[in-house]
Amino acid sequence: MKKFFHIGFSALALGLFLTSCNDDDDYQTIESIDKIKIDSVKIINDTMDVFSVQSIKTYSTYSSQCQGFYGYDYIHTDNSTRMVTAYKYITNGPCTQESYTAPNQINFSPQQVGTYTFKFWNGGTNWITKTIVVE
Protein backbone atom coordinates (compact mmCIF):
# COMPACT_ATOMS: atom_id res chain seq x y z
CA MET A 1 0.00 0.00 0.00
CA LYS A 2 2.83 2.36 0.91
CA LYS A 3 4.61 1.60 -2.39
CA PHE A 4 1.37 2.24 -4.31
CA PHE A 5 1.05 5.65 -2.60
CA HIS A 6 4.64 6.63 -3.56
CA ILE A 7 4.10 5.60 -7.20
CA GLY A 8 0.83 7.53 -7.37
CA PHE A 9 2.38 10.62 -5.80
CA SER A 10 5.38 10.46 -8.16
CA ALA A 11 3.08 10.20 -11.19
CA LEU A 12 1.05 13.19 -9.98
CA ALA A 13 4.19 15.30 -9.44
CA LEU A 14 5.53 14.36 -12.89
CA GLY A 15 2.17 15.27 -14.49
CA LEU A 16 2.15 18.69 -12.78
CA PHE A 17 5.73 19.34 -13.89
CA LEU A 18 5.01 18.49 -17.51
CA THR A 19 1.89 20.67 -17.70
CA SER A 20 3.60 23.63 -16.06
CA CYS A 21 6.25 23.62 -18.82
CA ASN A 22 3.67 24.27 -21.54
CA ASP A 23 4.81 27.24 -23.68
CA ASP A 24 1.47 27.69 -25.50
CA ASP A 25 0.29 30.57 -23.30
CA ASP A 26 -1.80 33.32 -24.93
CA TYR A 27 -0.07 36.36 -23.48
CA GLN A 28 2.72 38.67 -24.56
CA THR A 29 5.87 39.25 -22.57
CA ILE A 30 6.65 42.74 -21.35
CA GLU A 31 9.92 43.71 -23.00
CA SER A 32 10.46 47.07 -21.36
CA ILE A 33 9.06 49.85 -19.19
CA ASP A 34 9.48 53.52 -20.09
CA LYS A 35 8.17 56.94 -19.12
CA ILE A 36 5.14 58.21 -20.99
CA LYS A 37 4.15 61.84 -20.94
CA ILE A 38 0.89 62.83 -19.34
CA ASP A 39 -1.04 64.82 -21.95
CA SER A 40 -3.75 66.18 -19.66
CA VAL A 41 -5.08 66.00 -16.11
CA LYS A 42 -8.66 66.19 -14.87
CA ILE A 43 -9.33 67.20 -11.27
CA ILE A 44 -13.05 67.46 -10.51
CA ASN A 45 -12.78 69.50 -7.29
CA ASP A 46 -9.94 71.93 -6.67
CA THR A 47 -11.16 72.22 -3.04
CA MET A 48 -11.75 69.24 -0.76
CA ASP A 49 -11.98 68.19 2.90
CA VAL A 50 -9.30 66.49 4.97
CA PHE A 51 -9.54 62.65 4.87
CA SER A 52 -11.88 62.70 1.85
CA VAL A 53 -10.85 60.89 -1.33
CA GLN A 54 -10.70 62.33 -4.82
CA SER A 55 -9.77 60.56 -8.04
CA ILE A 56 -7.35 62.51 -10.23
CA LYS A 57 -7.46 61.33 -13.85
CA THR A 58 -4.49 61.50 -16.18
CA TYR A 59 -4.55 60.92 -19.94
CA SER A 60 -1.65 59.59 -22.01
CA THR A 61 -1.33 58.66 -25.68
CA TYR A 62 0.24 55.31 -26.57
CA SER A 63 1.75 54.84 -30.04
CA SER A 64 0.57 51.24 -30.56
CA GLN A 65 -1.62 48.48 -29.13
CA CYS A 66 1.58 46.84 -27.78
CA GLN A 67 1.80 49.58 -25.15
CA GLY A 68 -0.28 50.25 -22.07
CA PHE A 69 -0.27 51.82 -18.62
CA TYR A 70 2.21 50.26 -16.17
CA GLY A 71 2.10 52.56 -13.12
CA TYR A 72 2.96 55.88 -11.54
CA ASP A 73 6.02 57.22 -9.78
CA TYR A 74 4.44 59.38 -7.07
CA ILE A 75 7.03 61.42 -5.16
CA HIS A 76 6.40 63.67 -2.14
CA THR A 77 9.01 66.40 -2.55
CA ASP A 78 7.74 68.09 0.63
CA ASN A 79 4.51 68.09 2.68
CA SER A 80 2.52 69.85 -0.02
CA THR A 81 4.16 69.06 -3.38
CA ARG A 82 3.70 65.85 -5.37
CA MET A 83 5.56 64.97 -8.57
CA VAL A 84 3.81 62.35 -10.72
CA THR A 85 5.39 60.46 -13.61
CA ALA A 86 3.51 57.82 -15.63
CA TYR A 87 5.12 54.67 -17.03
CA LYS A 88 4.08 52.43 -19.92
CA TYR A 89 4.87 48.82 -20.69
CA ILE A 90 5.90 47.62 -24.13
CA THR A 91 5.13 44.01 -25.14
CA ASN A 92 6.62 41.77 -27.79
CA GLY A 93 3.36 40.65 -29.38
CA PRO A 94 1.91 41.33 -32.81
CA CYS A 95 -0.22 44.45 -32.63
CA THR A 96 -1.59 47.28 -34.66
CA GLN A 97 0.38 50.50 -34.85
CA GLU A 98 -2.67 52.70 -34.15
CA SER A 99 -2.20 55.24 -31.41
CA TYR A 100 -4.80 55.55 -28.67
CA THR A 101 -5.39 57.71 -25.61
CA ALA A 102 -6.23 56.08 -22.29
CA PRO A 103 -7.18 57.43 -18.85
CA ASN A 104 -5.67 56.33 -15.56
CA GLN A 105 -6.16 57.64 -12.05
CA ILE A 106 -4.59 58.41 -8.72
CA ASN A 107 -6.71 58.54 -5.57
CA PHE A 108 -5.72 61.48 -3.37
CA SER A 109 -6.67 61.46 0.32
CA PRO A 110 -5.07 64.39 2.18
CA GLN A 111 -4.28 63.96 5.85
CA GLN A 112 -3.89 67.64 6.75
CA VAL A 113 -5.21 71.07 5.80
CA GLY A 114 -3.20 73.05 3.25
CA THR A 115 -2.59 73.78 -0.41
CA TYR A 116 -1.25 70.82 -2.38
CA THR A 117 0.61 71.26 -5.67
CA PHE A 118 0.72 68.39 -8.15
CA LYS A 119 3.24 68.35 -10.99
CA PHE A 120 2.55 65.82 -13.75
CA TRP A 121 5.40 64.98 -16.15
CA ASN A 122 4.57 66.20 -19.66
CA GLY A 123 7.82 65.29 -21.42
CA GLY A 124 11.34 66.70 -21.24
CA THR A 125 11.46 69.36 -18.55
CA ASN A 126 7.75 70.21 -18.87
CA TRP A 127 5.21 69.66 -16.11
CA ILE A 128 1.44 70.19 -15.86
CA THR A 129 0.81 71.92 -12.52
CA LYS A 130 -2.48 71.55 -10.63
CA THR A 131 -3.40 72.83 -7.17
CA ILE A 132 -5.89 71.43 -4.66
CA VAL A 133 -6.87 73.37 -1.52
CA VAL A 134 -7.69 71.14 1.47
CA GLU A 135 -9.91 72.61 4.20
Q: Along the 135 residues of the chain, how does pLDDT read in single tens digits?
A: 455 444 444 554 545 455 545 555 566 899 999 999 999 999 999 999 999 999 999 999 999 999 999 999 999 999 999 999 999 999 988 888 899 999 999 999 999 999 999 999 999 999 999 999 999
Q: What gap in Å lies between CA 66 and CA 26, rounded to an integer?
A: 14
Would residue 70 count as lying in a domain? yes
Domain range for 45? 28-134
Q: For the beta carbon of residue 82, count every other beta carbon within 10 angstroms.
A: 19
Work out whether strand 127-134 and strand 47-48 pair parallel, antiparallel, or are unpaired.
parallel
Nearest to 35 by CA among 96, 133, 100, 123: 123
Q: What CATH number is associated with residue 52?
A: 2.60.40
Would residue 4 count as lying in a domain? no
Do you know the residue count of the chain? Answer: 135
Write down the pLDDT at residue 95: 86
Would residue 83 count as lying in a domain? yes
Would residue 2 count as lying in a domain? no
Per the structure, how many domains does the chain have? 1
Q: What gap in Å lies between CA 41 and CA 104, rounded to an integer?
A: 10
pTM of the predicted structure, to 2 decimals:
0.78
Would residue 74 count as lying in a domain? yes
Would residue 7 count as lying in a domain? no
Q: What gap in Å lies between CA 39 and CA 58, rounded to an integer?
A: 7
Would residue 112 count as lying in a domain? yes
Instruction: Say how many Å lie between the first and final Cα of the chain, rounded.
Output: 73
Would residue 14 count as lying in a domain? no
